Structure 1
Amino acid sequence: MPAADTATRSSRPLHDARRDAWLGTVLLLTLGSLAGAVLTAPPAGSPAGPALGAVLFLGSSVHVAASAWFCTVPEVRRFMAARPGRYLYAPAALVGGTALLGALVPRGAFTLLLLAFFAWQFVHFQKQNLGLAALAHAAYGTGPLRREERRSIVAAGLAGTAGLLCRPSLLQLGQDTPSLLPRLFPYAAGLFALAVVVGTACLLRRPRDTRPWQVVGLQGTALAFFLPVFLFNSPYAAVAGLTVAHGFQYLLMLGLVAGGDGGGRMPRLISLTLLVNIALLLGIVLNLASHLHGGGPTSRTLYGAYLGAVMAHFVLDAGLWRLRDEFPRTFLRDRLPYLLG
């Protein structure tokens, strides 16, 4: 037997173990975050306790700040420099534009802009769930997500986002929002239920050997991700779990990439140290800015810049994690071969 074949076969058990550990950790972080938020949520109108506040800090500000780690990787910098429109001009315009809006737009109109921001944010959450489901199928060799499966996951996310926008109190935006929105909530709930039923039926139509329980678990979680929105009245029970789960999913993936194989010229320990320091230090800055929405023009300018930084994170991630493109797919395969080997 050739030596290359022997090496490949001997690495398969390790790859399988890493793959199983990855998927199990994603499921644990996602379901644990959703359940933990429900169990620790304070009553509506009360602030979050220290424990929930700490995990919200990690799942929101820290995870957004962590995306700046990509700028420390030479090949990623070269990829972004060749596309300045997406990776330089668009982020700068978002930060500058929202900072200006924060200073100039009256508070009532700014609330409407916040609804648009939250719509983009939660659609971004579901895109990540869709990507994780697709990655699970790739890792387990069960074929790509089918068109109807993708559409069901996207539809469930859109309906869940619509449900949030129809209940602005869940986003702590009870004032200055259109009175029509709450009346549309039952329709959003119905569309969400329909998307989950259709998506489940599509999944069960797969041959049994193309739907191992691990893939079913992750794809089912993606479908039902927004269920808390339709079950709870507390903003923290309905929304905090979504935010924490999304952030922890992201931090796990970025941590694996930073410490993965094929790290190039940067030693693994240095790469992980950079990630932790960037995420925490910039996360503290973002967290401070995120609480300035109720102040004067200067505070609201900084709050607007914070919103722009979060949206810049959406734009960067949409390109750097798009696995149908050659560079992101090759970059991830080199560092995590057990997922895209």
Structure 2
Amino acid sequence: MPLETSATLAARAHQSAHPADKPLKCAYVTFLLTSPSYLPGILLLAHTLRHPTTNPSEGSAYPLIVCVNPALPEECIKALKDAGVEVRKVQPLVPSGKVTIIAERFVDTWTKLRVWELEEFDRLILIDGDMMIRQNMDELFHMPLPADRIACCHACVCNLDKSSWAPEDWTRENCAYTPTTHPSALTAPVEPSPNPAPHLLLNSGLVVLTPSTVTMKRITDLLSSSSPEEQDLIASWMFPDQDLLAEVFRGKWDALPWCYNALKTMRYWHAGETGFWRDEEVRNVHYICDKPWKRRPQRKTGEETLVDLDAPANPLGETINPRSKYTCTPGRFLETYDAELGIPAEEADAVTHGWWWDAYEKMHAKLVKDGYASMEYLEELVAK
């Protein structure tokens, strides 16, 4: 029986509710390694898995497991456990040869690949700690996916902020998202293909997978290889786990719709009539680059709050939330595609970062009510 196309897989995942024929043992898995700086993001990820921001009563049926480096400060591990999160210690995974890292935060990401060792589960979703759940996405655990394949979203290679590290072929024309529009982008993502080459690139922020020691051995064999050819290949990678997955699963990954890994920059890089972004369709927002917990947005004035009460739906389809405490301007950057225009990141990201802070306020209130023992430690990691 031939494999379904990735578009069909994505459509069935998006449209299904909970179609499993038998109970599966599943979990979301994220990693917190050498630095506690991602703790606020991971705690909010755990909270929004239980209480998605758009539909708080429709939480996930599956747990979040946080894998940590044993060298992580004990206070940080305690802060996770105090929030009711399952914690597992894992040993770091690093290549034997030279590596190229474009940002300090990617130094430890090879270790994320240890997710394949968790064979007691039937299916896992590897998810980054800088993500926030807007809508339940448990259907991904039940989508048709052969055990030797993974499902994830394409990498966005528009590079409109002209990052110096980006390859020359990272352009809007070569981005797998550029040909897609709403609503077909929700069910028919572009197939991974070598023409153009960037259409083979994936984003590892969310990966649907079947754990396997066979796959894990293939990964560790590659990372420990003494072959000059393979060492040169590894040294050429800028995004450690992401580039390795693209290599190991070349021809064996299926594209998911953008809404399952909605990069915050897509809101102004892939919006408007020719784009696909719609606020109400986002299931999981990915806070790449600047993290929202590092800068607290400006709070609304009383006048802004009153105006919001009568606000119509904005051009992106979402009515402004009058209960929001933060100044967010949906639609303001609808036509903004090029960071060379000089708009500061904190303004361009005001809407999506506002979502994070609104959710954080709700989580914070719940933690206070529940007598969370690590509140002081958490608050030290969050902008005042």
* TM-score, reference length from structure 1: 0.30
More strand by share: 2
Q: Looking at both structures, which has the greater relative contact order when contacts are Cα pairs under 8 Å and sequence separation is at least 6?
A: 1
More helix by share: 1
* TM-score, reference length from structure 2: 0.27
